Amino acid sequence: MKRNQLGNSILEVSEIALGCMSLPNNENEARIIVDSALDGGINYFDTADLYGKGKNEEIVGNAIGERRNEIILATKVGNEWRHDSDEVQWNPSKSYIKSQVHQSLKRLDTDWIDLYQLHGGMITDSSEETIDAFESLKKEGLIREYGISSIRPNVINRYLANSDIASVMMQYSLLDRRPEEFLDKIGDAGRSVVTRGTFAKGLLTTEGLERLKNNDGYMDYNADELEKVLTELMKIEDNLNALAIHSVLQHNTVASVVAGASSAAQIQQTVAAYHTEISTDQIAAAKKLTKQSNYTQHRD
């Protein structure tokens, strides 16, 4: 599997990443999925301290085991669980980030995090304080690089201008093409995009039409529009998994597609789709069928 440099950083990531949020809680089952991903050429694993109140990080740490040096390990910070409830409060402060990294390191059973990401962000945040926290952690050797996970243009622009982020994680798929407005700008700034939601909640898979039966719509598409566009996309390429992956990887700003898996079969299916040849003509035809929407909020 091809690997790409993540922005101007020292990290090289596989074009498919394993999104670990869907890993089962059973340690043996999780390890089978992790091993299957590694054996398929995936070296990039993404989790967050938010998932399961940190439980997912523990599962990932246990599943990786002795294969840690084979992996680019990414996690996220900024969502603080309340001790007395299941509510989450946003906390991008330096003190919280610098304390929470030690909790993530412990749960992941590692001495360092390859990519530490701000899990959100608002224009009202003190971004200088947040950036200072990440820079301090780099100097301490606890993280190698940092990035943000955000779909807010004003937040993204602020971090492109004022920080050394390596990457921006964004929801991006054939059914949500809003990031295309900013891909050139992000790439020209020497940063990469990492995508999530590329299968659009399973709609852009071989099971898409079946999943549509329990779906009233998605993004800017109502149910009738979805049925029509999915049917037409299937005429272009019946392996919608492959069409979905290659349609976002076509832009050289996109370094990796984060794909979740709850079984070894699922990650193997994703790897097989990645290796399925999709032409530029097919991608162009697919984009003619889908909407080119733009972000309407958080622009100033």
Residue 125 or residue 177, greater confidence: 177
Q: Return the active site residues.
A: 51
With bands split at pLDDT 50, 70 and 90, how would you rate the model's confidence at 90? confident
Once rounded to an integer, what is the mean pLDDT over residues 268-274? 98
pLDDT of residue 211: 87
Mean pLDDT on 255-269 = 96
User: What is the structure's pLDDT at 185?
Assistant: 96
> Residue range 107-111: average pLDDT?
96
* pLDDT mean across residues, the chain: 94
In angstroms, rounded to a whole number, what is the distance separating the alpha carbons of residues 255 and 172?
A: 12
Q: How many CA atoms lie within 13 A of 9 on its CB side?
A: 27
Q: What gap in Å lies between CA 126 and CA 268, rounded to an integer?
A: 42
Enumerate residues 6+ apart whose C-beta is below 8 A from 19.
46, 196, 258, 259, 260, 261
To which H or E segment does residue 148 belong? strand 143-149
Q: 243 with 286: CB under 8 angstroms?
A: yes
How far is the C-alpha of 254 from the C-alpha of 272, rounded, in Å? 19
One-letter amino acid of 51:
Y
Which pLDDT band, with edges at 50, 70 and 90, does 213 fall under?
confident
Q: How far is CA 17 from CA 25, 123, 288, in A?
A: 19, 29, 27
Rounded average pLDDT over 261-268? 95
The fraction of the chain above a pLDDT of 90, given in percent, is 81
What's the token pair of residue 269?
Answer: 């299916």
Identify the band that residue 285 occupies on the pLDDT scale cut at 50, 70 and 90. very high
Strands 167-171 and 192-196: what pairing?
parallel
CA–CA distance, 237 with 299 (Å, rounded to integer): 35
User: Hey, what CATH topology would domain 3-201+247-278 get?
Assistant: TIM Barrel (3.20.20)
pLDDT at residue 297, rounded to an integer: 87
With CA atoms as reference, report the closest residue to 14 among 35, 37, 30, 32.
37
pTM beyond 0.85: yes
pLDDT in tens, 63-86: 998 899 999 999 999 887 777 777
Calculate what percentage of the chain has a pLDDT beyond 70.
Answer: 100
Q: What is the mean pLDDT of residues 27-40?
A: 95
Beta strands at 12-14 and 3-5: parallel, antiparallel or unpaired: antiparallel
* Other beta carbons less than 10 A from residue 266's beta carbon: 16
